[in-house]
Structure 1
Amino acid sequence: MGRIYRFLDERLNLSPLIGAVADHPIPDHVNVFKSPSAFVYCFGGVSFLLIVLEVLTGMFLMLYYVPSPDHAYQSVNYIQNEVLFGNLVRGIHRVGASATVLMVFLHMLRVYFTGSYKNPRELNWIAGLVLFTAIMGFGFTGYLLPWDQKAYWATAVGVNVAASVPLVGDFLASVLRGGSEVGTLTLSRFFAIHVMFLPAFLIIFLAVHFFMLRRQGISRPL
C-alpha cells in the first residue's frame, strides 16, 4: 500500500490535499475521550455513514429490482427469498432508511440546542435543512418501490397531502403521479427520483455542507 501511495503521490501530489482535508485538531468539547457529553457531536458523522450504507445497499438492490408494475413486486420478492443475502441487504436498506431519518433529526436537534446555527453558520444550517428534506424525499419515494398494497395506498395518501399545498398543490400532485392517479408513471417517476435526482441533489449539498463545516470549524456549545 505504501508503494501504491508513493506512486500516486509522485504523479498527483496527493499529500497537500490529504493534509488539508484530514490534518486538523479535534476540539476538546467534541473529543469523547475528554468530554463524556461529546457523543452528541457524533450524530452528523453517524448520519453520513448511514447514508453511505444506504447508497451501497441500494446499488446491490438495483441489480435485481425491476421498476415496472408488472414485475416490481415479483422482483422484490425474488430479492427477499431467492438472492443470496438478498433478505439481509434489503433489511439493512429498509431499517437503515429509518435510522438515517432518526439520526439526521437528532443531529439537527443538537445543532439547534447548542446554538450552532447562529452566525457565522446560518448558511450551513440552511444546507442542513435542505439535506433533511432530501432524506425525507428518499423515504417517501422509496416507500412505493415494493409496489404492494401498503406502499400503493400510503403513496396515494402522500400525494393527496401534497395536493393540499396552497397554490401549487394540484401541480405538485400531478407531477408526482404523472397523471390523474397513482399508476405506472408514478412508479417510474418515483424510481427515477429515488435513484437519480435525489442522489445528485444529495451529493451537491453534502459537498457544500462539508465545505462550510471545514471552513468554519466545529462550533462550540453556548
Structure 2
Amino acid sequence: MLKKAYDWIDERLNVTPLWRDVADHDVPAHVNPAVKMSAFVYCFGGLTFLVITTQILSGMFLAMYYTPDITNAWYSVKYITDEVLLGNVVRGMHFWGASLVIIMMFLHMLRVFFTGAYKAPREMNWVVGVLIFFVVLAFGFTGYLLPWDQKAYWATAVGSQIAGSIPLLGPYIQTLLLGSHTVGALTLARFFAIHVFFLPAALLVLLALHFIMIRSQHIAGPL
C-alpha cells in the first residue's frame, strides 16, 4: 500500500531523483565509526540537528497549550505539566533539550575547530555555524522567561541589564527586549514572538545555508 502511494506521488512529482541526490553519496572512511572508532566525533553535527528537530517538534506541541500573557502563562505551563497527556514528558524533553542542544553544538564547533574544518574553502560555513550558535543561545534566553515564574523573571531582569550595559547600543537593545523599562507583559509578549516566530525563521534559513554548503563542499578531510 505504501509503495502504491509512493509510486502515485512519484509519477506526478518525480521525487525519486530529489531524495536520491540527497541520500546517495559516499561517506568518507574518516567519518564512519564502523571503519574508524575516532570518527564518533564527527557525529556531533548530526546529533545537534537531531536535538534541534526534537526541540522544534516538542515546542510545537507546547505552543498549542501555552498562553503568552502574565496572568495565564504560569497556569498554562502548570496545566501542560499536570493535566495534558504526556505533557510533563514533552515539557521535560524541551527543557533539557534546550541545554543539550547548546552542549552538542559546542562540541561540534570544537571538533570543527580542532580538525581545521573551518579553513578555506569552508570559512563561510564556519561563519554560518557561529551564527546558528548565537541563534540557539537566543532561543535559550527568550524561552527561559516563558514559564513566568520568579526564577525566570529575575534571570531576565539581570540579562536585560547586562544587555543594557553595552556601550552606545545597550539602552536601545534593552528597550527592544523589554518593551519598557521593566520586565512585564510587553516583555513576555516580545519574548514569545521572538522565540516562536523570528528565531525559528532565522534558524531554518541558516540551517539551509549550512547544509547546502556542506553538500557543495563535501565533508572536510581528516586532521
Q: TM-score, normalized by length of structure 2? A: 0.98
Structure 1 residue 221, shift from structure 2 partner: 2.3
Q: Does 1:217 align with 2:218?
A: yes
Partner of residue 73, structure 2: 72
User: Where does the alignment leave 5 or more consecutive residues of structure 1 unmatched?
Assistant: none
Does the alignment pair 1:10 with 2:11?
A: yes
RMSD between superposed Cα atoms in Å: 0.7
Cα distance per residue 1:30-50 (max 9 Å; x no partner): 011001011100000000010
Code of the residue aligned with 2:109 in structure 1: it is M
Aligned partners of 1:168, 1:125: CA distance in 2, in Å? Answer: 27
Give a deviation string over 1:121-168, Cα, whole Å, max 9, x none. 000000000000000000000000000000000000000111111211
Q: Does residue 168 of structure 2 align to residue 167 of structure 1?
A: yes
One-letter amino acid matched to 1:38: A
**Aligned amino acid, residue 69 of structure 2:** S
Distance 1:183 1:46 in 2: 36
Q: Distance in 2 between matches of 1:134 and 1:187?
A: 18
Secondary structure at 2:12 match in 1: helix
Q: Which residue of 1 aligns with 2:128?
A: 127
Structure 2 distance, partners of 1:85, 1:2, is 33
Could you tell me the TM-score, scaled by structure 1's length? 0.99
**Matched position secondary structure for 2:153:** helix
Counterpart AA for 2:181:
S
Stretches of structure 2 that go unaligned for 5 or more consecutive residues are none
User: After TM superposition, what 4+ stretches of structure 1 lie above 6 angstroms from structure 2?
Assistant: none
Distance 2:139 2:8 in 1: 40
Paired amino acid for 2:118:
Y
1:68-217 alignment, distance < 5 Å: 68-217=69-218
Q: 1:51 aligns to what?
A: 52
How far the C-alpha of 1:116 sits from its partner, in A, is 0.4
Map 1:37-48 onto structure 2 (within 5 A): 37-48=38-49
**TM-superposed deviation, 1:29:** 0.2
Aligned residue pair count: 222
